[in-house]
Structures are given as C-alpha cells and as structure tokens.
Structure 1
Amino acid sequence: MPTHVIIDRLEVPATATAPALLLRPWEEADAAPLAELYRDEALRRFLSHSIPDEAGALDWIAQQRRGREAGDRFAFAVVERAHAGTADQADRPAGPAGVREHLAGHAVLKNVAPGSPRAEVGYWTAAHARGRGVAPRALASLTAWAFATFAAQGLTRLELVHRADNTASCRVALKCAYELTGTLPAAPPAHPLDGHVHTRTRITGAGPRSA
C-alpha cells in the first residue's frame, strides 16, 4: 500500500487545436461510455482484453480501483475538457463552471513495487479523439507524474510495450522520448505478433499540476 498521499487528478493544458485534458481515476459512471468505446474494432485489435458490455466495464473499473488501492496499478480515464460553447463540444452536457467533459482515452502506470527501479506504462485513445494529440499529451503527463511520485521508492525506468504493427503507438512513444530498446517474441493467442519495447529513464523538472 502507498504510504503517502498520491495526486490522482492530472491536468494537461489545452493547445491551439485541442481542448485541455484531465487524467482522473475511472468511475462507475464511465461504464456505459467505456463499453461504447470498446466497440471500436481498431481499438480492440491492439488490446489483450475485451469489454463486451456495461457489466464488463463495471468489472474492469472495479479492477482498476483495486489496483490503485493496492498501490501497484494506477489507471486514469483521459477526459477532454472544454468550456460550453466550444463548437465540437456543443452536444455534451456541461458540468461545474460550464466545463464540458468527454471520455477520450486511458492511461495507466502498472507493476509498481517499492524498491523496484522499473514500472510499465500503457495507453489508448478513443476513435473520436484520435488526431488531437490526446495520447502523447496524456503519456507525457503520466510519465512526469510517475517519476515525481515514485522516485522515493526507487523508480528510475519506465517501459512501454506495444504490438510491432501498431505504428501509431510507436510514434507516440518516440514523441514522448521512449526509445525503442528491444522486441518481445509473439506468444499466441494473447500476443499473436512480436512486441516493441520502449524505455525512458527518470527525467527532471516540474511534475504535472493537481486538479
């Protein structure tokens, strides 16, 4: 179990072409939209698990909560945030202060262990949000947060693994300074193709802001 308070809401500023992002823990209210996102064939192609319906989404969200409570897995829903009146957000209900939120992806830090220098990161982006820099911005924020939060536990190295044919994920990794450092052999049926291993070592500088 973690012995210190861990920030669990990370803000990523808007860009000239894309709204701000919020990385926060998954909630039960996300189950229905999450199940809808998993209908995307392109997304399912590169994931090793499936979420067939809302009940499956609730189970998955509960697993993420247990991982956070155990202190070895920190999963974040990646949410796009824009003020009411933004053109591409017009059909989404506004929350506090007129901010509209829309589920755009997932980012996770996993295999965290006290004294271990290594952990792993992962991510995916919803079909409707691709092309807006969601994945690289979320990964950059997650990376800074992970090193800032777990440096005292000895974390110095983050690894990112994706299927060799997932060229989009490879581009995101390289853009976020995760160097391609190796390959993993295929292990059917769960992993039918070889995998790429990307690595990034601890960085310095300010971490992400808390929300």
Structure 2
Amino acid sequence: MERITARLTAPATPSAPALVLRPWEPADAPALLALRGDDALRRWTSLTVEDEGGAASWVREQRRGWETGERFAFAVAEEGAPPVGHVVLKGPAPGAPSAEVGYWTAARARGRAIAPRALEALTEWAFAVFAADGLARLELVHQTDNEASCAVARKCRYELTGLLPAEPPAFPRDGHVHVRTREA
C-alpha cells in the first residue's frame, strides 16, 4: 500500500509536546507489557497482555493488520519516548463508506489531551488516505459508562448517534456509537 504513510504527528500544545504516531514495533513490547497492571485498560479495552510472549504477539498482530490492510494500528508517543497510547483504523475497504476507529492511553498519559490529539490525527489521515476509496464515515464505539471516551469523541467532533446492546463476552456492556463524517 504505497500511498499509506506510516508516520503521523499531532502538533504540540502550550502544555504538551508533539506526538508521533507510528506502527507498533517489536521494540515496543516492553512498554506494552508495563501496562498490564492498568485497571482502566483492563476494564475498557480488550488489551490482555500478561507476559513478554503476549506483548510480542500483540505487536505482531498489529503489524499483520498493516500487511493485510485490514487495520492500521499506531503507537502514540512523545518524540523519543516509549508509547503511551494506541489509535487504530479498522476495516477500511475499497468501496466501503465507513470504517471504525479506536484508541486507548496509558494511565501516565491520561488528562494530557493525548487521546484527542492522536484521534484527530488518525481521523484526518483516514479521510485523506481512504476518501478516494469511498470512505466518508468513521464510527467510534465505547461502553456507555466510559465517560472519558465519550468526552474524547465529542472533543474530536464524533457525534453520539446510537446505542448498541451488550454482546458478551467481547462487549460486556451497552455501547455508545459516535460518528464523524468527512467534510465535503
């Protein structure tokens, strides 16, 4: 996929440095493993990394998504630092008008506007890269009781459009569906 850029940036703010968004690399596995005790990640995401092998496997899965074009996962970091977050575009397909986005941040990164800046960079990239293939709508789904994700979605102009019923075990609670459409 030669037209797909694998490195994005989110500009600095008066209170936070610029962010680099890039594909996950094998060298990121230790930083990922360090997040295994983050209760919020365990509650709100499907990230389950218990050991070095699991972290390496998770990184390989993200890289496989790039190879197949089924999902584009980016590690989110401040320049020169280990990843503190993750954003992903899932399911962009030629002729498909919509795809899904997702994100998470490590505890040490929360409250620093990392998630909204990374999500905004991913959103702009997705619409720029996949518009010619018909992408016009991005969906963001989170559990209804995840107020922080709801706030990030709103900040990035993803409008709340619906409610999804729980589908255990993958989705144990009801979910909000937020949508952002490409500006003409």
TM-score, normalised via structure 2 length: 0.96
Q: 1:163 aligns with which of 118, 143, 148?
A: 143
Deviations 1:59-81 (A, max 9, x none): 11111111111112000000012
- What is the identity, as a one-letter code, of the residue corresponding to 2:160? L
Residue in structure 2 matched with residue 191 of structure 1 by the alignment: 171
Deviations 1:8-64 (A, max 9, x none): 100111111111100000000000110111320111101124111121011111111
- What is the identity, as a one-letter code, of the residue corresponding to 1:75? A
Percent identity, aligned pairs only, is 64
* CA shift for structure 1 position 104: 1.2
Paired residues in the alignment total 184
Residue in structure 2 matched with residue 27 of structure 1 by the alignment: 25
Is 1:118–2:116 an aligned residue pair? no
Q: Any residues of structure 2 matched to 1:30-179 within 5 Å, and which?
A: 30-81=28-79, 100-179=80-159
Would you say the 8 A contact 2:102–2:140 is kept in 1? yes
- What is the identity, as a one-letter code, of the residue corresponding to 1:32? P
Q: Unaligned regions of 5+ residues in structure 1, if any?
A: 82-99, 205-211
Residue in structure 2 matched with residue 85 of structure 1 by the alignment: none
Decide which structure has the larger Cα Rg and report it: 1
Q: Unaligned regions of 5+ residues in structure 2, if any?
A: none
Runs of 4+ in 1 over 6 A off after TM superposition: none
Would you say the 8 A contact 2:41–2:47 is kept in 1? no
Distance 1:121 1:189 in 2: 20
Distance 1:102 1:131 in 2: 18
Residue in structure 2 matched with residue 84 of structure 1 by the alignment: none
